Structure 1
Amino acid sequence: MLVDIQSMTKTDRRAGNFLQSGAALLEFAVLLPLLVILLFGLVEFGRALLQENTLTKAVTTGARYLARMPNLMTPPPHCDPGTGWAAAVAQAEALIEKDNAGAGNVILPGLDGEGTITFDGAWRNEAVSVSGSTVYINVCVIEVEAVTPFVSMSGDSLVPFFQLGPVNLTARAEERYIGE
């Protein structure tokens, strides 16, 4: 039986709308938790990227600081720690952990407690182009690496309501030792 909408009375049309009432609210109620999880997941992912960027900049700053410290390493090809290695590494670690060398606020939660910062000196045989020919020279290199757990706003997980496990942020930097 075909129904002509034009011939329906107002009362008949309202009865048809009554069958649809509440459908939008039900759909919204079903989708709301998914939208909230998506929103918090995006916010936490953005925070993780920001903290990764902050950690990378801090590690690079610490490596540059060590690369310019005098008497830090013996000349190549050995590149062993010199007389000022321990004191310079302690200052570089404070520079990486805090926003000021020696004092200040911790730049990332977890970096001063559970996080690890490692320093190493090594030598490399680098190729340098001089007047069209390749020359190999020995250089000392400072390597710095930091690993810290990501501290989420919603607990231990990156996405709320899902236990994805801990997320570690890692940054690594390498600078040629100049020793001004």
Structure 2
Amino acid sequence: MRVGLYPGTFDPITLGHLDIIRRACVLVDRLVIGVAINRDKGPMFDLEERVEMVEAECAALATQTGVEILVHPFENLLIDCARDVDAQIIVRGLRAVADFEYEYQMVGMNRQLDDGIETVFLMAEAQHQAIASKLVKEIARLDGDISKFVTPRVNSQLLARLGKA
């Protein structure tokens, strides 16, 4: 069984994330979405809320693709998380050259820690390349329309969190 791990903070999950998840399902039999606890980023949504959002948004995708999609919170090293879920592949989404520079360095370190786990990069589709959770939150804070960047459910949750529902 090919198991992939797609890690991220998912604060909140965006259409860009869902695009990468959908496309990663072609590569694996089981896809684990690793929701990083990462206290340094100061997420808007707590871990349980982010896990629930990812589970809710991925349920239909699992049915459509026939791929088992699991959500797994983690706070340890990415490579240790991959080992914990028996992943042979780490899936990373790329939006721009700046992403590649960081990810390239990360792959080198992860290969040093465990050369049996491969990293696969998926380029975001053109309409999703500019989407970043940080920007989506900022647009919502400033009363902009985020409906092009997140699902209706996430849109509602984000606006409710900001007291704008």
* Common topology (TM > 0.5): no
> As a proportion of its length, which structure holds more helix?
2
Which of 1 and 2 has higher RCO (CA within 8 Å, sep 6+)?
A: 2
Mark the structure with the bigger radius of gyration.
Answer: 1
TM-score by length of 2: 0.22
